[in-house]
Chains A and B, each alone.
Chain A
Amino acid sequence: MPAKAVTNDAIVSMLREAVCRSVTTFEQGKDRYRILTPFTFPDGDRFCPILQKTGPKWSFSDDGSTFMRMTYRINDDSIMAGTRGKIIEQAIQSFGLTNTGGVLAITVNGGDFGSALYGFTQAVLRISDVALWNKHNPKSSFVEEFKKTIKDAVADQSEYQFNWSDKLLDPKQVYPVDCRISARFPLFVFGVHNEAKCDSATIVIQHYRKKIERFSTVVIYESQEEIGRKNVARLTDVADKQFASLPTAVDLKDYLYNSIAF
């Protein structure tokens, strides 16, 4: 017997039922519900926002869980830095969310709970995906942000050079400096994203201490707290200034102009 053809109306009906079934609510107190959605984070945990009434208004909130989840992968100092921070800000703005001390929320307007939930979900998943950059390419985002920060802080292109090495003292480029900035005395800037780089920056600085009379050094960590204490201690002994994470261009510029005497 041939299989009975499913009509388009039946397919649409099944789709609607499936979508409705995929969202479930659990009461968690007066005017407060936990929402079970079908959307998952990369670790398999489901996105379960809170729906709550504050005064006359209903809103969806994450209670702060989105940023907490991101810190499993990246240091919180680097969450809002550079390109990551821009994408997060864009997602918050374009979907109409609020960010109150790390708690993301969206107000339900005109009783349209569905649109608010979908917008909130889309924004949170987009924000969460930013943390994945660390997994797929741990270095490139930091390098890009490191370069941009220096370019923004030092407007004149002729004053800095990335991947510099001294042609006379180091012709084989064994002791490269991530960025040399021209000043009254040269400034060597190092970006440190892991322990191997931390150790090599220490060696390069020590090498030039023996060869060059006057220069200053700045170390910018992607996330200092992720680097071993002994590695940091050794680099601290030889570096003049360290930033525990990427500074803003303004902060770096302030340091350059106030401390280095351009």
Chain B
Amino acid sequence: MSSILTDAQIQRLVDEEKVLPADWRECMNLKPAKDAQLRGKLEVMGSNGNSFIIYLRRLELDVFCFSAILAYKRLDTGTTFRLRRYNGKDHAHTNKIETDEILFDYHIHKATQRYQDGGYDEDQYAELTDKYSTINEAFGLLLDQCGFVKPLENGGLFDGTEE
């Protein structure tokens, strides 16, 4: 695999089935971190053996400044590659190639081959969205759009039993 991921490779990674662990909701309880941030993190293996990480970030001072990120751990370069980034509306965004702007509105960054070819960040391209307005909703949309499967619930041996 070359260092640039093609659109087809990116789409396969986004679509790869990723079964969430039983405690997946834990990461939504954002914890205070250094530098005025609240954070959550979740690692998930894909059905093809690829490794993914979801990062959740929100500023303590600004509920509109957040990111829900799906990253892919690259074995060839030892780095993480951001496939999708669901951003808040605290800032404006400019798509450098298309030269269009998103002014203080929710937007989803998507990794593309053309931006990598142009020497830009892999996920510099972004699209306007009205499908979320909080970080939890953004996280939910990320799960819906990126091949995540919730684990079977009420199927465990001890589900519903009282201690």
Contacts and interface: CB of A to CB of B under 8 A. Distances in A.
A26 interface: yes
Interface size class of A (residues with CB under 8 A): 35 or more
B84 interface: no
A228 B109 CA distance: 25
A42 B121 CA distance: 6
Nearest to B92: A46
A231 to B, nearest CB: 11
Interface in A180-233: 193-197, 225-226, 228-229
A96 interface: no
A160 interface: no
B137 interface: no
A144 interface: no
A76 B123 contact: no
Contacts of B121: 42-44, 135
A242 interface: no
Contacts of A48: 90-92, 104
A135 B77 CA distance: 10
The A contact surface, by secondary structure, is: mixed
A61 to B, nearest CB: 8
A85 interface: no
B92 A102 contact: no
Contacts of A26: 104
B161 interface: no
B122 to A, nearest CB: 9
A67 B36 CA distance: 9
B93 A46 contact: yes
Interface in A68-86: 68, 71-72, 76, 79
Contact of A226 (B36, B37, B80): B80
Max chain B C-beta neighbours (<10 A), residue from A26, A67, A71, A135: A71
Given A43-B121, A44-B96, A71 B57 contact: yes
A63 B120 contact: no
Contacts of A46: 91-94
B103 interface: yes
Interface string B1-14: 00000000000000
B104 A44 contact: no
Interface of B: 33-37, 41, 43, 51, 55, 57, 59-62, 65, 67, 69, 73, 75, 77-80, 82, 85, 87, 90-96, 103-104, 109, 120-121, 123-126
Given A63-B36, A67-B37, A76-B34, 9 more contacts: A42-B124, A43-B123, A44-B125, A46-B93, A46-B94, A67-B34, A68-B35, A68-B65, A193-B78
25 contacts: A40-B96, A42-B124, A43-B123, A44-B96, A44-B125, A45-B87, A45-B93, A48-B91, A63-B59, A63-B62, A64-B36, A65-B59, A65-B90, A67-B35, A67-B36, A68-B59, A71-B57, A72-B85, A76-B34, A102-B34, A102-B36, A103-B35, A134-B79, A135-B79, A197-B78
Interface of A: 26, 34, 36, 40, 42-48, 63-65, 67-68, 71-72, 76, 79, 101-103, 134-135, 138, 193-197, 225-226, 228-229
